[in-house]
Structure 1
């Protein structure tokens, strides 16, 4: 065996061993912190992968995310690598710009890129509840390389200044959310949950896109802002409470990847 072939064999063996010991329920270590990762179904082991970086909700960890039907169930079927960081104390510090969790998430993506061939132009950042707020914080502080923010039932203050921004924002929130309450604007404005990004992108004129659903018990209403100096904003609302709507993540990924929306 030549030296070059031996090196190649050792590299493949090392990568395989890393994946065997750092996958799904088994966390990948970064210093004293960690994250979980899950490949999509049928991946050939070589093709560059879009990434969904998803921040878990309060009192959860990344192992819940990589086993969650409405999160992992969506990424596995769409060729997307799911990455789920673990928050300290099962929570996130998203309250202001002075947070170590943005740098941690950057290190997670760097580590993922050392293990997998990822597509740097299709990095999507998501989260639910406290994790949704953390996704907003990440997009606000480290968002210039982010293709889209996919936030669910959680955000930061709409009056904050964000030095950076993703290319596209997609947010969903329940009108009857009693955990992280729906942020109605003046006059009960139901478009206020994305006011920060509308201002950041200098958007004009909301365009209603009508209702949609994938399960008969929940209808979502969509509004879009496409007339913007930069970026695009999409807001889905529903009459329910604090949860991840069935099919919401899958639909966003389908649209971002240029696929015909399907469920699941």
Structure 2
């Protein structure tokens, strides 16, 4: 009995040490690469955690993500574990299916699961700009089942073939974006940014979800596809440019987690 208690103490101490030395701004090493992780506020250290795997934008690293008010500010308040991989050269290779960043992200999630009790049914994949495109690439071909894609102002080509898909897709893009241009469809179709997933899921009729905002300076317009053969798609558009809209990540998490949407 004493021996088993001693072993349990050692295991707990080892896990605590791993968290203490690999958290927030301090990266978790994984071979020759690394990632960052941030726990939610008031976590009891036992309850399984939903995970937001977020890919940073170009010329950034995971330190930006775990300190970002519109990303970490949302996860900390909603009981979500934030995981932010570091891209090689502060970027991502999402251009084709021949990329080492997808298996790297798989290894990141595997390593996180060794450090934290995570909820495998609630793995959300997000990203901004180049990171948004990397999030698309990841859910398109990763071996991991993911509950939702939450992409901001970045995607892969709508004509690509994706061998797999998440359970749900949520995307936001500004029609005045000139960094990763808003992908207008034929005739100026503003629903084209999610054409790949609508075809993959067998979606047909779009339903207006109405306008919404959390700050007076920006209004988002929502379109939803819920008549799909599988999955569902949500597209939020706005008239602005290349940025993460206030409250967007928090609202998506609230809706996915079955919470009343709040801000922040």
TM-score by length of 2: 0.99
Q: Which residue of 2 aligns with 1:218?
A: 218
Q: Distance in 1 between matches of 2:230 and 2:193?
A: 19
Q: Which residue of 2 aligns with 1:14?
A: 14
Q: Does 1:249 align with 2:249?
A: yes
Q: Which residue of 1 aligns with 2:112?
A: 112
Shift of 1:2: 1.2
Shift of 1:144: 5.5
Q: Distance in 2 between matches of 1:130 and 1:171?
A: 14
Q: Which residue of 1 aligns with 2:99?
A: 99
Q: Distance in 1 between matches of 2:185 and 2:168?
A: 22
Q: Which residue of 2 aligns with 1:69?
A: 69
RMSD (CA atoms): 0.8
2:206, 2:225 within 8 Å by CA — same for their partners in 1? yes
TM-score by length of 1: 0.99
Q: Which moved further from structure 2: 137-146 or 65-74? A: 137-146
Q: Distance in 1 between matches of 2:204 and 2:226?
A: 8
Structure 1 ranges of 4+ moved more than 4 A: none
**Partner SS for 2:137:** helix
Q: Which residue of 1 aligns with 2:141?
A: 141
Q: CA 1:163–1:55 in 2, change beyond 3 Å: closer, same or farther?
A: same
Segments of structure 2 that go 5 or more residues without pairing to the other structure are: none
1:128, 1:151 within 8 Å by CA — same for their partners in 2? yes
Q: How many residues align?
A: 264
Q: Distance in 1 between matches of 2:130 and 2:203?
A: 27
Q: Distance in 2 between matches of 1:33 and 1:3?
A: 37
**Partner SS for 1:227:** coil
Shift of 1:143: 6.4
Shift of 1:78: 0.2
**Partner SS for 1:79:** coil
